[in-house]
């Protein structure tokens, strides 16, 4: 009962798929294979899209740099970034 109105978002991915899961049970598939959540999400999303379009950076570096850009703009985005890649 306490979690009935859970306002949460989670990004989940494997080698082939990227999904956004909401606390209400919605499953969203991005059109361009890029997702971002949180207060700095729109900034990170724009940065990631630009990096993917105009560079050849691997996905972990795109994520790291997009978060750095968002942290420089959004007050609530943390700049202590850890990107882990599961083999």
Number of domains composing the chain:
1
Sequence-distant (6+) residues with CB within 8 A of 38 are 44, 76, 77
pTM of the model: 0.85
Residue 27 lies in a domain: yes
| 61-73 per-position pLDDT tens digit | 999 999 999 999 9
Q: What is the CATH number of the domain that holds 63?
A: 3.60.20.10
Residue 3 lies in a domain: no
Residue 1 lies in a domain: no
Residue 58 lies in a domain: yes
> pLDDT confidence of 4, banded at 50, 70, 90?
low
User: For residue 79, what pLDDT is reported?
Assistant: 93
pLDDT at position 18 over 80: yes
Sequence-distant (6+) residues with CB within 8 A of 56 are none
Residue 36 lies in a domain: yes
The answer to whether residues 27 and 20 touch, using CB atoms and an 8 Å cutoff, is yes
Residue 32 lies in a domain: yes
The parent domain of residue 23 ranges over: 9-73
Residue 78 lies in a domain: no
């Amino acid at each position: 009962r306490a979690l009935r109105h859970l306002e949460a978002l989670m990004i989940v991915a494997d080698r082939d798929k990227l999904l956004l899961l909401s606390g209400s049970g919605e499953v969203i598939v991005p059109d361009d294979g890029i997702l971002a959540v949180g207060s700095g999400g729109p900034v990170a999303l724009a940065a990631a899209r630009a990096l993917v379009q105009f560079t050849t950076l691997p996905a972990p570096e795109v994520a790291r740099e997009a978060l750095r850009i968002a942290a420089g703009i959004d007050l609530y985005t943390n700049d202590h970034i850890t990107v882990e890649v599961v083999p």
